Amino acid sequence: MSLAATGDLVREAAAGGRAVAAFNIITLEHAEAVVAGAERVRTAVVLQLSENAVKFRDGQLLPIARAAAACAEAAAVPVALHLDHVKSPELLRQAADAGFASVMYDAAHLPYGENLEATRSAADWAHANGLWIEAELGEVGGKKGDAPLDPHAPGARTDPDEARRFVSDSGVDALAVAIGSTHAMTTRTAALDHALLARLAKALDVPLVLHGSSGLPDSELAAAVAGGIRKVNIGTALNVAMTEAIRSNLTGADPRPYLAAARTAMTATAAAMISALN
Ligand code: G3H
Ligand code: ZN
């Protein structure tokens, strides 16, 4: 199947009152497992690569992007490629030629005016190059191993009025909102601010994106989708599954048995989390 477009997958999910799952991949095994999990539950999916994952590859985008694209093209379900948490304008500009249908431009750490200015210029570039663009307002904490933000700290929640202005002034296609989730949680114990999500869904007419979704139990994921979240970003849950499987299968010198176990475990995680959103 040829590569899908993230915007189309989000639109189709929204039309059905669902959310599309977008999984952060680091290795080829992550990509293979996400595709296998999506095929198992016969549902479209997004494979996403973060700027941090590219840094892990010594800044080389193409080797892992081409591998992900090949997995996507071989899939029996629609799969789109998304470049995630991009801060570097140089990396942003590589997206279109590397098979990505969409990008998330992340200037959420900047003060409002600077976030808006940087995001507007990223959106102009993205649209001129045929890409769907997501941005973030209010900051979902815990990025790159940072300490989680205090959920009551200023900036740890997205303000609906500010969000409406931000979307209209920046021209982005989707908005990541801070409603109580935190990146990199290894337990599924977080709870969302559903009242705030309801206000955001009412105030905004672009799809809302949830980050840091690994920390949420299935019931919270389902409630987020019911409340209007249309793209759900998941990374750490795959890494937890992978690392546990490797730990329990780490014998001998051949990496294939433990990598196969890791892929099997990540496939099960991906399938289960996609199902929680549908
Ligand atoms: O953009 C990526 C996600 O927000 C993943 O967050 O690793 O906490 O699931 P997570
Ligand atoms: Zn994120």
Quick: pLDDT tens for 189-206.
999 999 999 999 999 999
Asked whether residue 124 is assigned to any structural domain, the reply reads yes
Q: Which residues surround ligand 2, an ion (CB under 5 A)?
A: 211, 233
Domain residue limits at 46: 6-276
Question: How many domains are contained in the chain?
Answer: 1
Ligand 1 contacts (CB < 6 A) are 24, 84-85, 183-185, 211-215, 233-237
Ligand 1 center–CA 213 separation, angstroms: 6
Quick: pLDDT tens for 233-261.
999 999 999 999 999 999 999 999 999 99
CA 52/CA 155 separation, integer angstroms: 22
The residues near 155 (Cβ < 8 Å, ≥ 6 apart) are 138, 139, 149, 178
Q: Which ligand 1 atom is the nearest neighbour of the CA of 237?
A: 9
Ligand 1 center–CA 185 separation, angstroms: 9
Query: Which amino acid appears at position 8 of this protein?
Result: D
Whether 106 shows a pLDDT value over 90: the answer reads yes
Say which DSSP state 150 is in.
P
Mean pLDDT of the chain: 95
Asked whether residue 22 is assigned to any structural domain, the reply reads yes
Q: Which two tokens stand for residue 180?
A: 């109580």
Asked whether residue 1 is assigned to any structural domain, the reply reads no
Placement of tokens 């300490």 in the chain: 147
- Catalytic residue annotation: 84
Q: Which ligand 1 atom is the nearest neighbour of the CA of 215?
A: 8
Looking up residue 46, the CATH number of its domain turns out to be 3.20.20.70
Asked whether residue 64 is assigned to any structural domain, the reply reads yes
Q: What is the b/e burial string over 53-66, where b = at least 16 CB atoms within 10 angstroms of the residue's CB?
A: bbeeeeeebeebbe
Ligand 1 center–CA 190 separation, angstroms: 13
Q: What is the pLDDT of residue 154?
A: 46
